[in-house]
């Protein structure tokens, strides 16, 4: 049995309850024991690093310090924003012991930061630590027939010198996971474009504009649905979709799944536990494609490889 | 107004470089960041121009621009920058310096973005965690825009997309103490 430290993040108790729920179901089935950080706090998200450099480090640091008490080598974080804040803090603290001491003084009651826990996103943990073979071995109900656009957003793979995971331009880890589940990942060029993130509330116009382009490109790629690994991407693309349809005058009707919801589905778990009823865009139409395999003419297709940022630069 | 004083020392450049850990002098103005940036059309000065203004030491223009508030920190620009300048870190350094030196951009949009961040940090100070529904309600009240997003409410609430309550931390006191100590540290820093 594998053991991993779990940092759910605030949205796990709010808008992304279904992500939290399905992560727990899937990990149990994959024989991974998750230990939640006791009395964790908010990572500060975009707001802390927008206004205060000290709080931007102090809020995540408290969680990093508490995580070290659990004695697991790795921490897995479902929310992309939490992941990014904790990872940035870890990298900067490890690089600069003096800064670490200074920030640590604001949470000294919790303990001293040693930097011994690796920080990974849930997607990265599934891809690197669990692996495609283990995922494939649990599939009892293949998703064959479903075409999915995998959307990573900005924070899971960028900046590259912080995340050290997948490609910042054309990542493939989630594509490989959904293909391990039997579905087909479409060629989707907007997979790392930003959805507008925290402007969801403070400047909705930006989110409508950016998210509408992502949704349209996913539709054009031939996908029946979009798969995400970030609560804010999910809520921007799902909850704002009716507004986007009104704004552009085009029907989109693309449900937005968390990749763990689809894992649970392919593992043959009960649909009731996946909380599809929470989705604003109904999922039934997309799920009806499972099992419907259209006879595709055999064509030779070049495998598409992840593009490395450096090779583009030079 | 942009003023050029060649005799004066460019203190802004040194401060921004020191804070951000980047070296903006590396920039050769190719503009790749501007074409990559998903929000450059909303900015007074897109990233390339902000960097040029820093090089020219134009403190007032740089601090008063809405650009740093619109930056989503998505890092698309820095990933493609041929000089590997960490542009989001530069934007952040400028924003922090402007806040510390009490420069206030009072356009409605920037005021709303800033208010959102203040309410968010307030939520954490109170509960240790973000309380989404309350945050949205407070944002509407404090920006005097009561009906914003109300059309989403029936569906989002009925479906449980946005829960009514929050599970607060047990030791929210630790967070309040962290805020006090952080404030002290930042005062000392100035």
Residue B3 lies in a domain: no
Instruction: Tell me the chain A residues in contact with residue B124 when contact means C-beta distances shorter than 8 Å.
Output: 41-42, 44, 48, 59
**Interatomic CA distance for residues A203 and A200, integer angstroms:** 6
Residue-averaged pLDDT of chain A: 92
Instruction: Indicate if B163 and B131 belong to the same structural domain.
Output: yes
Q: Who wins on pLDDT, A5 or B144? A: A5
- Which domains are delineated in chain A? 2-123 (1.20.1050.140), 138-293 (3.40.50.11810)
The pLDDT tens digits for A161-179 are 999 999 999 999 999 999 9
Identify all chain B residues contacting A105, using CB atoms and an 8 Å cutoff: 181, 185
Q: What is the average per-residue pLDDT within A263-290? A: 93
- B45 lies in the same domain as B126: no
CA of A279, closest CA in chain B: separation in Å?
7
Residues B73, B120 within the same domain: no
Cross-chain Cβ contact A105/B124 below 8 Å: no
In angstroms, the CA A156 to CA A167 distance is 10
pLDDT digits (tens, 9 = 90+) for B132-171: 777 777 778 777 776 777 777 777 777 777 777 777 788 8
Chain A positions touching B128 (Cβ under 8 A) are: 41-42
| Residues B43-62, mean pLDDT to the nearest whole number | 96
Domain-ending residue, one of B40, B70, B100: B100
Residues B96 and B113 in one domain: no
Q: Is the pLDDT of residue A300 over 90?
A: no
Q: Which helix (H) or strand (E) holds A225?
A: strand A225-228
Residue B80 lies in a domain: yes
In a domain, B2, yes or no: no
Q: Kindly indicate the confidence band of residue B71, based on its pLDDT and cuts at 50, 70 and 90.
A: very high
Inside any domain, residue B163 = yes
* Per-residue pLDDT tens over the stretch A28-86: 999 999 999 999 999 999 999 999 999 999 999 999 999 999 989 999 999 999 999 99
pLDDT at B4: 63
Contacts of A217 in chain B (CB under 8 A): none
- The beta-carbon neighbor of A203 closest among B112, B163, B177 is B112
- Indicate if B88 and B165 belong to the same structural domain: no
Q: How far is B5 from chain A (nearest CA, A)?
A: 31
Residues B30 and B88 in one domain: yes
**B143 located within any domain:** yes
pLDDT-derived band at B39, boundaries 50, 70, 90: very high
Number of structural domains (chain B) is 2
Chosen domain end from B100, B134, B151: B100
Q: What distance in Å separates residue B59's CA from the closest CA in chain A? A: 19
In a shared domain, residues B93 and B53 = yes
* Same-domain check for residues B15 and B96: yes
- pLDDT for A297 equals 61
From chain A, the residues in CB contact with B73 under 8 A are 46, 49, 154
B178 vs A102, A106, A206: nearest CB = A106
Kindly tell me the burial class for residue B1, based on how many C-beta atoms sit within 10 Å of its own C-beta (0-12, 13-18, 19 or more): exposed
pLDDT for B21: 93
Q: Are residues B69 and B120 in the same domain?
A: no
| pLDDT tens readout for residues B89-136 | 999 999 999 999 999 999 989 998 999 999 999 989 988 988 777 777
Q: Nearest chain A residue to B21 by CA: give it.
A: A92
Sign of the Cα pseudo-torsion (A78, A79, A83, A86, in order): negative
On whether residue B182 sits in a domain, the answer given is yes
The confidence band for A314, taking pLDDT boundaries of 50, 70 and 90, is very low
Q: What DSSP assignment string belongs to A87-139?
A: HHHHHHHHH-HHHHHHHHGGGGGG------SEEEEHHHIIIIII-HHHHHHH-
Q: Select the residue of A14, A280, A312 nearest B163 (Cβ to Cβ).
A: A14
Q: What is the mean pLDDT of chain B?
A: 88
| A72 touches A5 (CB < 8 A) | yes
Q: How many helices (H) and strands (E) does chain A have?
A: 16, 8
Which of B21, B22, B178 best tests the A interface by mutation, with the highest count of A CBs <10 A? B178
- Residue A312 pLDDT > 80, yes or no? no
Residue B89 and residue B25 share a domain: yes
Asked if the structure places residue B180 within a domain, the reply is: yes
Q: What's the pLDDT at B8?
A: 67
Taking CA–CA distances from B187, the nearest residue in chain A reads: A54
Taking a C-beta distance cutoff of 8 angstroms, is the pair A128, A163 a contact?
A: no
Full-model pTM: 0.91
Q: Tell me: the pLDDT tens digits for A104-137?
A: 999 988 999 999 999 999 999 999 999 999 999 9
Range of the domain at B56: 11-100
B129 and B93 housed in the same domain: no
Say whether pLDDT at A313 is over 60: no
Q: Looking at the domain assignment, is residue B96 inside a domain?
A: yes
Among B66, B81, B100, where does a domain finish? B100
Mean pLDDT of B19-26: 94
Closest-CA residue of chain A to B78: A159
Beta-carbon separation of B135 and A201 below 8 A = yes
Q: Answer whether A195's CB lies under 8 Å from A277's CB.
A: no
| pLDDT, tens only, A199-213 | 877 788 899 999 999
**Do B96 and B143 sit in the same domain of this protein?**
no
Count of positions (residues) in chain A:
314
How far A291 CA sits from the closest chain B CA (Å)? 28
Contact A105 B185 (CB under 8 A): yes
Residue B169 to residue A40, Cβ atoms within 8 A:
yes
For residues A3 and A71, what is the distance between their CA atoms, to the nearest angstrom? 10
Q: Dihedral, CA atoms, A264, A269, A270, A274, nearest 10 degrees?
A: -10
Nearest to B178 by CA among A268, A43, A185, A195: A43
Question: Mean pLDDT throughout B4-9?
Answer: 64
Q: pLDDT-based confidence at A287, cuts 50/70/90?
A: very high
User: ω before A78 within 30° of 0 (cis)?
Assistant: no
């Amino acid at each position: 049995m594998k053991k991993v430290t779990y940092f759910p993040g605030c949205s796990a108790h709010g808008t992304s309850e279904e992500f939290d729920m399905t992560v727990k179901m899937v990990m149990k089935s994959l024989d991974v024991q998750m230990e939640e950080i006791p009395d964790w706090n908010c990572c500060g998200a975009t707001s802390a690093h927008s206004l205060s450099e000290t709080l931007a480090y102090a809020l995540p640091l408290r969680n990093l310090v508490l995580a070290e008490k659990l004695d697991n080598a790795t921490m897995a974080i479902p929310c992309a924003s939490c992941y990014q804040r904790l990872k940035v803090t870890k990298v900067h603290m490890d690089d600069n012991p003096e800064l670490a001491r200074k920030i640590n003084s604001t949470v000294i009651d919790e303990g001293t930061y040693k930097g011994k826990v690796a920080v990974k996103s849930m997607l990265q943990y599934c891809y690197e630590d669990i692996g495609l073979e283990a995922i494939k071995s649990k599939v009892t109900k293949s998703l064959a027939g479903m075409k999915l656009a995998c959307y990573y957003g900005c924070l899971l793979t960028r900046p590259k010198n912080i995340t050290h995971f997948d490609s910042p331009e054309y990542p493939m880890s989630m594509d490989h996971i959904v293909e391990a589940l039997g579905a087909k990942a479409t060629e989707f060029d907007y997979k790392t474009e930003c959805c507008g993130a925290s402007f969801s509330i403070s400047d909705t116009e930006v989110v409508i504009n950016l998210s509408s382009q992502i949704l349209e490109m996913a539709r054009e790629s031939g996908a029946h649905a979009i798969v995400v690994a970030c609560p804010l991407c999910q809520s921007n693309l799902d909850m704002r979709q009716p507004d986007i349809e009104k704004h552009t005058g085009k029907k989109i009707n693309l449900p937005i799944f968390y990749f763990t919801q689809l894992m649970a589905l392919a593992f043959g778990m009960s649909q009731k536990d996946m909380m599809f009823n929470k989705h604003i865009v109904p999922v039934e139409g997309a799920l009806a494609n499972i099992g419907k395999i259209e006879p595709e003419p055999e064509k030779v297709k070049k495998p598409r490889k992840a593009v490395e940022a450096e090779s583009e630069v030079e | 107004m942009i003023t050029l004083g060649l005799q004066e020392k460019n203190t802004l450049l040194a401060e921004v470089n020191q804070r951000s850990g980047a070296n903006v002098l590396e920039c050769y103005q190719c503009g790749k960041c501007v074409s990559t940036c998903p929000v450059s059309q909303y900015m007074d000065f897109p990233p390339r121009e902000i960097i040029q203004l820093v090089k020219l030491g134009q403190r007032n223009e740089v601090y008063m621009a809405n650009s740093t508030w619109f930056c989503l920190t998505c890092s698309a620009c820095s990933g493609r920058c041929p000089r590997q300048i960490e542009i989001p870190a530069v934007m952040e350094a400028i924003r922090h310096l402007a806040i510390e030196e009490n420069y206030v951009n009072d356009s409605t949009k920037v005021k709303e973005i800033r208010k959102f961040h203040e309410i968010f940090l307030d939520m954490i100070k109170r509960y240790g965690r973000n309380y989404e529904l309350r945050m949205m309600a407070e944002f509407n009240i404090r920006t005097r825009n009561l009906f914003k997003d109300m059309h989403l409410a029936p569906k989002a609430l009925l479906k449980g997309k946005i829960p009514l309550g929050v599970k607060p931390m047990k030791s929210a006191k630790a967070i309040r103490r962290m805020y006090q100590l952080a404030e002290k540290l930042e005062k000392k820093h100035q």
